[in-house]
Amino acid sequence: MGFYESQIVPRVTNVLLGNKEFGKVRAEECEGLAGDVVEIGFGSGLNVPYLPSEVTGLWAVDPSGTAMKLAAKRIAETSIPVQSAGLDGARLDLPDDRFDCALSTMTLCTIPDVTSALDEIRRVLKPGGAYHFAEHGLSPDAKVARFQQRFNPWQMRFAGGCHLNREIADLIREAKFEIEKVRNFYLKGPKGMGYMTLGVARKS
């Protein structure tokens, strides 16, 4: 990982996804979380202020040391215990059937082996455990989707491997989750960058 990916991308992400507007998305996504939670793509801890009091602990998975440093203040300010749980969401060093809930925010777009990451999330969840997600991906609008496909190589280059063209709900279903609720919408700004899939899926 070069200087740009290790130092610049985490700081830019911390700013772009740390605004009040996206905070509303985080609040909706985190509603209903409880017990022990594993978060894939913890980043700079932007979800921490939105965790309900019912959460008893958070296990943070993220490859970026810079992002974890940016998260230090948020971790210090919460009463919920937060512990580092590894670097690679596609290969979790965590037991089977361990967690009550899992969480990912703008993460599935970036993980190279997204199929393995979803399989790992499912593996570490308890039977009936809930997976809360807020992810951006491929728009159903043909015009927007064409832009996403054309721009995707540039997005991956300048946004730390981020894909614009992943079909989030399909990926989650293919990982044998049952989607319990889902909401699709566009964030403010260019539609190609902000087609969102927000919801909860459950391990059957």
Evaluate if residue 1 carries a pLDDT over 70.
Answer: no
Which band of pLDDT confidence, cut at 50, 70 and 90, is reported for residue 6? confident
Structural domain harbouring 44 = 3-203
Distance (Å, rounded) from C-alpha 140 to C-alpha 195?
9
Mean pLDDT of the chain: 96
Tens of pLDDT, residues 82-120: 999 999 999 999 999 999 999 999 999 999 999 999 999
> What value does the mean pLDDT take over residues 176-193?
96
Q: What is the helix (H) or strand (E) element at residue 38, kind and residue range?
A: strand 35-40
Evaluate if residue 62 carries a pLDDT over 70.
Answer: yes
Which residues lie below 8 Å from residue 153, measured CB to CB, with a gap of 6+? none
Q: Please say whether the beta carbons of 182 and 198 come within 8 A.
A: yes
Which residues lie below 8 Å from residue 32, measured CB to CB, with a gap of 6+? 52, 130, 132, 200
**Sheet harboring 99-105: ordered strands across?**
82-84, 55-61, 35-40, 99-105, 125-136, 195-203, 177-186
Evaluate if residue 201 carries a pLDDT over 80.
Answer: yes
> In the chain, what percentage of residues exceed pLDDT 70?
100
Identify the CATH number of the domain in which residue 189 sits.
Answer: 3.40.50.150
How many folded domains does the chain comprise? Answer: 1
Q: Structure pTM?
A: 0.95
Residue 84 is encoded by which pair of tokens? 């580092």
Tens of pLDDT, residues 31-40: 999 999 999 9
